[in-house]
Structure 1
Amino acid sequence: MDVVSSYAWIAWLVLILVFVIIEMLSLDFVFLMLAIGSLGGLVSGLFGLPWWAQLLVAAVLSILLLFLLRPPLLHALRRGGDPARSNVDALLGQEGRVVQSFGHDGRGLVKLANGEVWTSRLAAGGASPGPALEPGTTVLVTSIEGATAVVVPAGNTSA
């Protein structure tokens, strides 16, 4: 038995520890599969396999786990997720009322149904195509561009 094989168990333990720590930070099951593969390498080393065979066992086991066990685990983890939209997605399609009239440049202030006041512009890309949007006019949010809500009058959702 050569020196590399006799002390390979230490390298496997270090690898397992490093992979588990990284997995705790990433929570994506990739490094967990690598840690389990390394555990296979450690066990094969305890049965007296040479270092290259230990490496082969660890690699094959890791690849099999990545492609066969990880996808169902991720699916099971995400199954109970919250279906509610959040952040910008929750604002799309939301109704609001004009607080400050839209000027000739097509910009104004809108208070959304959730109570937030946003700087906004008309979705047409510039000046108001029809009558000016006065305070109290109902609008719909079509998109968010940075800190600006892009809106259309509630009766005109084609843009």
Structure 2
Amino acid sequence: MSRLEILKSSLEKKEAKFNSMLDAHFADVRSANGQPLNDKRNGYRIINRWDKQNNALSNQQKEIDKTKNAIENEECKQKDIAKHKATMPIEILELIENGTLKQWGKYPYIMFVDGVDKARIIWDDKKKQVLHKFTSTLTDKEQRSKFAQVYNSLYASINKK
């Protein structure tokens, strides 16, 4: 389940909860029928209860707005990723599709090799080259050889053109 699908299902749940809270509030107000407000001893308690319900409704609405903003941001990220994928060479796209490379959502031109901690492969669209970053931080020989194998194959096929 993708992040966008999770956010959309969360939005549906929050909107359903908001609607049920709103219905409960209206039912409570309707049941009062104006009579408790005339009560000089307990009228303020009912007003306080309605204020609490109103505050809960406004807090729920704020949560719904946050989720809507998160959905918009996630959709923008996915459009940006798709835009960057359109400019990438086929070799990189194949590695992304088979799971060897993972594209970073925040910076779609940066990819991580699966199973390697810190090193990154960067696609420079202006120069049409594959670059690497933070390779000196790789101390594990297994991770270093895995990264080197992926990077060297990309370098040989793309940068040598």
TM-score by length of 1: 0.25
Higher helix share: 2
The higher radius of gyration belongs to 1
Higher strand share: 1
TM-score by length of 2: 0.25
